[in-house]
Amino acid sequence: MADMMQSLHGHKTAEPRHWRRIMVLAEGVCSAIPLMLLLLLLFTLAFAASARADNSTVCTGHNLLPQMEAEQPKLYQSIVDQAAKVENGRTIFWKIEKPGIKPSYLLGTMHVTDPRVLAMPKGAEAAFQQTDTIIVESDEILDDKKAAAALLAHPDLTMFTDGSTLTSHLTPQQAEELDAGLKKRGLSLSAVNKMKPWIISSFVSLPACELARKAKGADFLDKRLAENAAKDGKKVVGLETFAEQLQAMNDLPLKFHLTSLIETLQLGDRMSDIMETMTDLYLKGDVGMIMPMLEAVDPDKGADKENGYAAFEKRIVLDRNRIMAERAAPDLAKGNVFMAVGAMHLPGPDGVVALLEKQGFKLTPL
């Protein structure tokens, strides 16, 4: 797989297990933690954002899977076969039913401004219009001041408040790699040295086209849905607070975040290909294919626990799946709800779809 990645990009890439770590974190940032949480801290990166965006909203990334299918058909087929076994992993749009109440709907989202994502799958717009309650991960996305207050109230979740810095947690060689990687992105290490590493990772993992759209005021799908619902006088319900989402990311091992940040910087603009691959899978509804794909490029599965993958899955995905399903249940029990949460929370035996079914709801893929 490493040889294939090298041929795709013309030069040596990170080791396979590094790709999986980076892609997992990128997915976590884009599909688990809304980027609106970062507004106050990212002002220090504004100049770099302007430089990287170059006013171009056209994405240049390429889906990595077609070439894998052509050059390594057995590996590709193994990914397809594994994905087929993922429970509830073949669609992002569901109908929720229970006797005696109006049907509700569940949409898996990506927290990006990509116009293809904003378009939503067939039938989703009509479902959204006809429902009277909208559920999103956090209703605080409707109020920038509230978002800012959430960050200011918990500085220890976004900044080092114990006197340490990014570099104090790194070896001299790692610090040098971090400094070099940040400079290539137009960032000063001294300006971000007090920030928690996942804050910076969430910025540098974004392709230039996404930064450009955000710079021009584009909203990600969940925020657009919440804003449109509020304008129409619909009830908007949030399942989590920003503080809870910040805590979930902060609970992951610091080593995991630090290593992921450095490796993300090493990938540079190739993150565009990673994002495009995940976006294409999302648009096809094949969210169950994402993790098998990541595992295919990481034969060293025994290192999962040490490298933080297990902690990531439990804290960012599984724990939050349970919270989402439990807190959404009272409104879903009334019917006529449109629920939109990150797509990676839907599939699997412990995904939101399965958890809602255990509560007595009938979910049908659309």
What's the pLDDT tens digit per position in 269-321? 777 888 888 899 999 999 999 878 767 655 444 444 445 667 778 888 899 99
Backbone angles phi, psi at 223, to 5 degrees: -65, -40
In one-letter notation, the amino acid at residue 365 is: P
Asked if pLDDT for residue 64 goes beyond 70, the answer is yes
In one-letter notation, the amino acid at residue 52 is: R
CB 319 within 8 A of CB 349: no
Please state the rounded mean pLDDT for residues 194-204: 84
DSSP secondary structure, 244-292, as one string:
HHHHHHHTS-HHHHHHHHHHHHHHGGGHHHHHHHHHHHHHTT-GGGHHH
Please state the rounded mean pLDDT for residues 54-75: 84
Asked if pLDDT for residue 41 goes beyond 70, the answer is no
Please state the rounded mean pLDDT for residues 127-152: 86
Beta bridge mates, 93:
107
How high is the pLDDT of residue 35? 43
Confidence band (pLDDT; 50, 70, 90) for 166?
Answer: very high
Beta-carbon neighbour count of residue 81 at 10 Å?
A: 10
How high is the pLDDT of residue 12? 37
Separation CA 225–CA 241 (nearest Å): 18
Higher pLDDT, 37 or 185: 185
Contacts of 66 (CB under 8 A, 6+ apart): none
Beta-carbon neighbour count of residue 86 at 10 Å?
A: 19
Beta-carbon neighbour count of residue 61 at 10 Å?
A: 20
How high is the pLDDT of residue 147? 72
Contacts of 197 (CB under 8 A, 6+ apart): 166, 254, 257, 258, 260, 261
Confidence band (pLDDT; 50, 70, 90) for 54?
Answer: low
Give the torsion through C-alpha atoms of 72, 74, 75, 79, to 10 deg: 130
In one-letter notation, the amino acid at residue 10 is: G
Backbone angles phi, psi at 207, to 5 degrees: -70, 160
How far separated are the first and last CA of the chain, in Å rounded? Answer: 34
DSSP secondary structure, 131-157, as one string:
-SEEEES-GGGG-HHHHHHHHHT-GGG
How high is the pLDDT of residue 215? 75
How high is the pLDDT of residue 9? 35
Task: Give the side-chain half-sphere CA count within 13 A for 365.
Answer: 11
In one-letter notation, the amino acid at residue 207 is: P
Q: Return mean pLDDT, the chain.
A: 81
CA-CA-CA-CA torsion sign (278, 280, 286, 287): positive
Please state the rounded mean pLDDT for residues 146-157: 78
108 DSSP 8-state letter: E
How high is the pLDDT of residue 294? 66
Separation CA 99–CA 360 (nearest Å): 10
In one-letter notation, the amino acid at residue 30 is: C
How high is the pLDDT of residue 311? 76
CB 147 within 8 A of CB 252: no
Ranges 53-57, 220-224, 341-345, 362-366: which has the least confidence: 53-57
DSSP secondary structure, 158-191, as one string:
TB--SS--TGGGS-HHHHHHHHHHHHHTT--HHH
Please state the rounded mean pLDDT for residues 102-129: 94
Asked if pLDDT for residue 263 goes beyond 90, the answer is no
Ranges 30-34, 145-149, 269-273, 306-310: which has the least confidence: 30-34
Asked if pLDDT for residue 136 goes beyond 80, the answer is yes
Please state the rounded mean pLDDT for residues 92-99: 97
Q: ∠263-268-269 over CA atoms, to 5°?
A: 140
Asked if pLDDT for residue 49 goes beyond 50, the answer is no
Place of tokens 């990772």: 201
Asked if pLDDT for residue 131 goes beyond 70, the answer is yes
Confidence band (pLDDT; 50, 70, 90) for 16?
Answer: very low
Give the torsion through C-alpha atoms of 79, 84, 88, 92, to 10 deg: 60
Asked if pLDDT for residue 32 goes beyond 50, the answer is no
Asked if pLDDT for residue 38 goes beyond 60, the answer is no
Separation CA 278–CA 27 (nearest Å): 8
